Amino acid sequence: MKAAFIQFNPQFGEIEANIKKAVKHIERTEAEIIVLPELFNTGYLIVSKDEAFDLAEPLPHGKTTEALCAAALESKVHIIAGLIERQDENLFNAAVIISPTGYLGKYRKIHLFNEEKLWFQPGDLGLNFFDIGICKIGVMICFDWFFPESMRTLALNGADLICHSANLVLPFCQDAMKTRCLENRVFAVTANRTGEENRNGKSCRYTGRSQITGPDARILYQAGAETEEIGIAEIDIDLARNKNLNPYNHTLLDRRKEFYS
Protein backbone atom coordinates (compact mmCIF):
# COMPACT_ATOMS: atom_id res chain seq x y z
CA MET A 1 0.00 0.00 0.00
CA LYS A 2 1.17 3.52 -0.73
CA ALA A 3 0.56 6.71 1.24
CA ALA A 4 1.23 10.22 -0.01
CA PHE A 5 1.18 13.90 0.84
CA ILE A 6 0.64 16.91 -1.33
CA GLN A 7 2.74 19.90 -0.30
CA PHE A 8 1.96 23.29 -1.79
CA ASN A 9 1.46 26.97 -1.00
CA PRO A 10 -2.29 27.65 -0.59
CA GLN A 11 -3.28 31.22 -1.47
CA PHE A 12 -5.24 32.97 1.29
CA GLY A 13 -9.00 33.09 0.61
CA GLU A 14 -8.67 31.57 -2.89
CA ILE A 15 -10.80 28.54 -2.07
CA GLU A 16 -11.69 27.57 -5.66
CA ALA A 17 -8.09 27.85 -6.89
CA ASN A 18 -6.70 25.93 -3.89
CA ILE A 19 -9.21 23.10 -4.38
CA LYS A 20 -8.45 23.01 -8.10
CA LYS A 21 -4.72 22.72 -7.48
CA ALA A 22 -5.19 19.98 -4.85
CA VAL A 23 -7.53 17.99 -7.13
CA LYS A 24 -5.10 18.27 -10.05
CA HIS A 25 -2.37 16.78 -7.84
CA ILE A 26 -4.69 14.11 -6.42
CA GLU A 27 -5.41 12.93 -9.97
CA ARG A 28 -1.67 12.40 -10.62
CA THR A 29 -0.88 10.70 -7.29
CA GLU A 30 -0.65 6.93 -7.34
CA ALA A 31 -1.38 6.03 -3.74
CA GLU A 32 -4.26 4.65 -1.70
CA ILE A 33 -4.10 7.43 0.91
CA ILE A 34 -3.40 11.11 0.24
CA VAL A 35 -2.96 13.72 2.97
CA LEU A 36 -3.37 17.45 2.33
CA PRO A 37 -2.19 20.27 4.62
CA GLU A 38 -4.14 21.93 7.43
CA LEU A 39 -6.63 24.56 6.12
CA PHE A 40 -5.47 23.62 2.61
CA ASN A 41 -8.42 25.34 0.93
CA THR A 42 -8.43 28.69 2.74
CA GLY A 43 -4.93 29.51 3.93
CA TYR A 44 -4.02 29.91 7.60
CA LEU A 45 -3.36 33.47 8.72
CA ILE A 46 -6.86 34.55 9.72
CA VAL A 47 -7.22 38.05 11.15
CA SER A 48 -10.79 38.11 12.49
CA LYS A 49 -13.56 35.79 13.55
CA ASP A 50 -15.83 37.22 10.84
CA GLU A 51 -13.25 36.29 8.24
CA ALA A 52 -12.97 32.78 9.67
CA PHE A 53 -16.78 32.45 9.47
CA ASP A 54 -16.77 33.48 5.82
CA LEU A 55 -14.13 30.86 5.00
CA ALA A 56 -15.78 28.05 6.97
CA GLU A 57 -18.01 25.27 5.64
CA PRO A 58 -20.55 22.97 7.23
CA LEU A 59 -19.72 19.26 7.20
CA PRO A 60 -20.24 17.08 5.34
CA HIS A 61 -22.02 19.16 2.71
CA GLY A 62 -19.62 22.04 2.10
CA LYS A 63 -18.22 22.66 -1.37
CA THR A 64 -14.68 21.59 -0.42
CA THR A 65 -15.79 18.24 0.97
CA GLU A 66 -18.00 17.65 -2.05
CA ALA A 67 -15.12 18.40 -4.45
CA LEU A 68 -12.84 16.05 -2.50
CA CYS A 69 -15.49 13.29 -2.49
CA ALA A 70 -15.72 13.58 -6.29
CA ALA A 71 -11.91 13.41 -6.59
CA ALA A 72 -11.73 10.39 -4.25
CA LEU A 73 -14.36 8.57 -6.29
CA GLU A 74 -12.66 9.42 -9.58
CA SER A 75 -9.17 8.39 -8.44
CA LYS A 76 -10.25 5.60 -6.04
CA VAL A 77 -8.27 7.07 -3.15
CA HIS A 78 -8.71 8.04 0.48
CA ILE A 79 -8.19 11.71 1.24
CA ILE A 80 -7.49 13.44 4.56
CA ALA A 81 -7.65 17.23 4.30
CA GLY A 82 -7.77 20.20 6.67
CA LEU A 83 -10.44 22.92 6.51
CA ILE A 84 -12.51 25.21 8.73
CA GLU A 85 -15.73 23.60 9.89
CA ARG A 86 -18.75 25.72 10.82
CA GLN A 87 -21.36 24.22 13.11
CA ASP A 88 -23.98 26.80 14.11
CA GLU A 89 -22.02 29.59 15.83
CA ASN A 90 -18.92 27.48 16.39
CA LEU A 91 -15.86 27.08 14.22
CA PHE A 92 -13.39 24.18 14.35
CA ASN A 93 -9.99 23.63 12.80
CA ALA A 94 -10.98 20.27 11.31
CA ALA A 95 -9.92 17.53 8.93
CA VAL A 96 -12.23 15.45 6.78
CA ILE A 97 -11.64 11.76 6.09
CA ILE A 98 -12.98 10.71 2.70
CA SER A 99 -13.01 7.28 1.04
CA PRO A 100 -13.68 6.40 -2.62
CA THR A 101 -17.31 5.82 -1.60
CA GLY A 102 -17.72 9.16 0.19
CA TYR A 103 -17.38 11.08 3.44
CA LEU A 104 -16.26 8.89 6.38
CA GLY A 105 -15.95 11.42 9.18
CA LYS A 106 -14.01 14.29 10.67
CA TYR A 107 -11.43 15.16 13.30
CA ARG A 108 -11.40 18.46 15.17
CA LYS A 109 -7.98 19.73 16.28
CA ILE A 110 -7.68 19.37 20.03
CA HIS A 111 -4.52 21.43 20.63
CA LEU A 112 -5.08 24.90 19.19
CA PHE A 113 -1.97 26.94 18.40
CA ASN A 114 -1.50 30.62 19.24
CA GLU A 115 -4.28 32.89 17.84
CA GLU A 116 -6.29 29.89 16.65
CA LYS A 117 -7.72 30.11 20.16
CA LEU A 118 -9.41 33.39 19.14
CA TRP A 119 -11.30 31.82 16.22
CA PHE A 120 -11.79 28.13 16.89
CA GLN A 121 -13.35 25.96 19.55
CA PRO A 122 -11.03 23.24 20.84
CA GLY A 123 -11.79 19.87 19.27
CA ASP A 124 -14.33 17.79 21.15
CA LEU A 125 -14.38 14.51 19.23
CA GLY A 126 -11.37 12.79 20.80
CA LEU A 127 -8.64 10.80 19.09
CA ASN A 128 -10.32 7.87 17.38
CA PHE A 129 -9.24 5.84 14.39
CA PHE A 130 -11.00 5.38 11.07
CA ASP A 131 -10.95 1.83 9.74
CA ILE A 132 -10.55 2.08 5.97
CA GLY A 133 -10.06 -1.66 5.46
CA ILE A 134 -6.44 -1.56 4.31
CA CYS A 135 -5.41 0.05 7.62
CA LYS A 136 -6.61 2.07 10.58
CA ILE A 137 -6.02 5.78 10.20
CA GLY A 138 -5.54 8.19 13.08
CA VAL A 139 -5.77 11.91 12.34
CA MET A 140 -3.90 14.81 13.93
CA ILE A 141 -3.67 18.46 12.94
CA CYS A 142 -0.39 20.35 13.16
CA PHE A 143 0.33 21.43 16.79
CA ASP A 144 -1.15 18.14 18.07
CA TRP A 145 2.38 16.77 17.43
CA PHE A 146 3.70 18.88 20.34
CA PHE A 147 1.73 16.74 22.80
CA PRO A 148 3.08 13.16 22.84
CA GLU A 149 -0.26 12.09 24.30
CA SER A 150 -1.96 12.68 20.93
CA MET A 151 -0.07 10.03 19.01
CA ARG A 152 0.18 7.73 22.03
CA THR A 153 -3.60 7.79 22.42
CA LEU A 154 -4.14 7.13 18.71
CA ALA A 155 -1.69 4.20 18.88
CA LEU A 156 -3.31 2.81 22.03
CA ASN A 157 -6.68 3.09 20.31
CA GLY A 158 -5.37 1.01 17.39
CA ALA A 159 -4.27 3.44 14.67
CA ASP A 160 -1.52 2.12 12.35
CA LEU A 161 -0.97 5.20 10.22
CA ILE A 162 -1.18 8.78 11.47
CA CYS A 163 -2.38 11.29 8.89
CA HIS A 164 -1.07 14.65 10.04
CA SER A 165 -2.31 17.75 8.24
CA ALA A 166 -0.07 20.66 9.12
CA ASN A 167 0.85 24.31 8.64
CA LEU A 168 4.07 24.11 10.62
CA VAL A 169 5.82 27.28 11.71
CA LEU A 170 8.29 25.80 14.23
CA PRO A 171 11.24 23.82 12.82
CA PHE A 172 11.08 20.89 15.26
CA CYS A 173 8.18 18.71 14.17
CA GLN A 174 9.90 16.78 11.40
CA ASP A 175 12.56 15.55 13.85
CA ALA A 176 10.01 14.94 16.60
CA MET A 177 7.93 12.74 14.31
CA LYS A 178 10.80 10.23 14.16
CA THR A 179 10.55 9.76 17.93
CA ARG A 180 6.74 9.81 17.93
CA CYS A 181 6.69 7.05 15.29
CA LEU A 182 9.38 5.00 17.02
CA GLU A 183 7.82 5.13 20.49
CA ASN A 184 4.42 4.14 19.10
CA ARG A 185 5.58 1.89 16.21
CA VAL A 186 3.30 3.62 13.73
CA PHE A 187 3.69 5.23 10.32
CA ALA A 188 2.97 8.95 9.89
CA VAL A 189 2.34 11.20 6.91
CA THR A 190 2.90 14.86 7.79
CA ALA A 191 1.50 17.04 5.00
CA ASN A 192 2.86 20.53 5.53
CA ARG A 193 2.54 23.67 3.42
CA THR A 194 5.13 26.07 2.08
CA GLY A 195 5.29 29.83 1.61
CA GLU A 196 4.70 32.89 3.70
CA GLU A 197 1.52 34.78 4.57
CA ASN A 198 1.52 38.49 5.46
CA ARG A 199 -1.79 39.95 6.57
CA ASN A 200 -2.70 43.02 8.67
CA GLY A 201 0.87 43.39 9.94
CA LYS A 202 1.10 39.72 10.90
CA SER A 203 3.31 37.18 9.20
CA CYS A 204 3.77 33.40 9.14
CA ARG A 205 6.45 31.44 7.32
CA TYR A 206 5.76 27.75 6.86
CA THR A 207 8.52 25.17 7.00
CA GLY A 208 7.62 22.72 4.19
CA ARG A 209 9.68 19.51 4.47
CA SER A 210 6.56 17.36 4.58
CA GLN A 211 7.54 13.92 5.72
CA ILE A 212 6.56 10.26 5.69
CA THR A 213 8.04 8.49 8.70
CA GLY A 214 8.27 4.77 9.49
CA PRO A 215 7.77 2.86 12.77
CA ASP A 216 11.55 2.39 13.02
CA ALA A 217 12.07 6.19 12.93
CA ARG A 218 13.27 6.09 9.33
CA ILE A 219 12.31 8.99 7.09
CA LEU A 220 10.72 7.35 4.04
CA TYR A 221 10.28 10.61 2.16
CA GLN A 222 10.98 14.24 2.91
CA ALA A 223 10.00 17.12 0.65
CA GLY A 224 11.95 20.31 0.08
CA ALA A 225 11.39 23.39 2.25
CA GLU A 226 9.91 25.49 -0.57
CA THR A 227 8.82 23.05 -3.27
CA GLU A 228 5.37 22.17 -4.55
CA GLU A 229 5.73 18.44 -4.25
CA ILE A 230 3.97 15.11 -4.04
CA GLY A 231 5.65 12.62 -1.71
CA ILE A 232 4.82 8.92 -1.86
CA ALA A 233 6.10 5.97 0.20
CA GLU A 234 5.38 2.28 0.39
CA ILE A 235 3.78 1.37 3.72
CA ASP A 236 3.97 -2.17 5.13
CA ILE A 237 1.23 -1.97 7.72
CA ASP A 238 2.34 -5.24 9.40
CA LEU A 239 5.37 -3.35 10.70
CA ALA A 240 3.06 -0.99 12.59
CA ARG A 241 1.10 -3.92 14.00
CA ASN A 242 4.18 -5.55 15.48
CA LYS A 243 4.80 -3.54 18.64
CA ASN A 244 7.74 -5.68 19.79
CA LEU A 245 11.00 -3.77 19.93
CA ASN A 246 12.90 -6.95 20.78
CA PRO A 247 11.88 -10.29 22.37
CA TYR A 248 11.55 -8.61 25.78
CA ASN A 249 10.09 -5.18 25.05
CA HIS A 250 6.63 -4.31 23.80
CA THR A 251 6.12 -0.64 23.02
CA LEU A 252 2.65 -0.38 24.51
CA LEU A 253 2.42 -3.24 27.04
CA ASP A 254 5.68 -2.30 28.81
CA ARG A 255 4.25 1.02 29.89
CA ARG A 256 4.25 1.40 33.71
CA LYS A 257 0.98 3.24 34.02
CA GLU A 258 1.05 3.02 37.83
CA PHE A 259 4.00 5.46 37.80
CA TYR A 260 2.48 7.94 35.38
CA SER A 261 0.06 10.61 36.50
Catalytic residue numbers? 38, 109, 142
DSSP letters, the chain, are: -EEEEEE--PPTT-HHHHHHHHHHHHHH---SEEE--TTTTT-S----HHHHHHH-B-TTTSHHHHHHHHHHHHHT-EEEEEEEEEETTEEEEEEEEEETTEEEEEEE-SS--TTHHHH-PPP-S-S-EEE-SS-EEEEEEGGGGGSHHHHHHHHHHT-SEEEEE----SS-HHHHHHHHHHHHT-EEEEE---SEEEETTEEEE-----EEE-TTS-EEEE--SS--EEEEEE--HHHHH--EEETTEETTTT--GGG--
Name the residue nearer to ligand ACM (CB basis): 140 or 161. 140
Nearer to ligand ACM, 113 or 233 (CB): 113
CB of 35 to ligand ACM, least distance (A): 15
Report the greatest alpha carbon distance in the chain. 57
Which C-beta is closer to ligand ACM: that of 9 or that of 99? 9
At its nearest, how many Å lie between ligand ACM and the CB of residue 228?
Answer: 19
Query: Please, what is the minimum distance in Å from the beta carbon of residue 206 to ligand ACM?
Result: 9
For the CB of residue 118, give the shortest distance to ligand ACM in the complex, in Å.
14
Q: Give the residues lining the site for ligand ACM (CB under 6 A).
A: 38, 113, 142-143, 167-169
Name which of 168 and 189 has its Cβ closer to ligand ACM.
Answer: 168
Answer whether 98's CB lies under 8 Å from 104's CB: yes
**CB neighbours of residue 118 within 10 Å:** 12
Nearer to ligand ACM, 56 or 142 (CB): 142
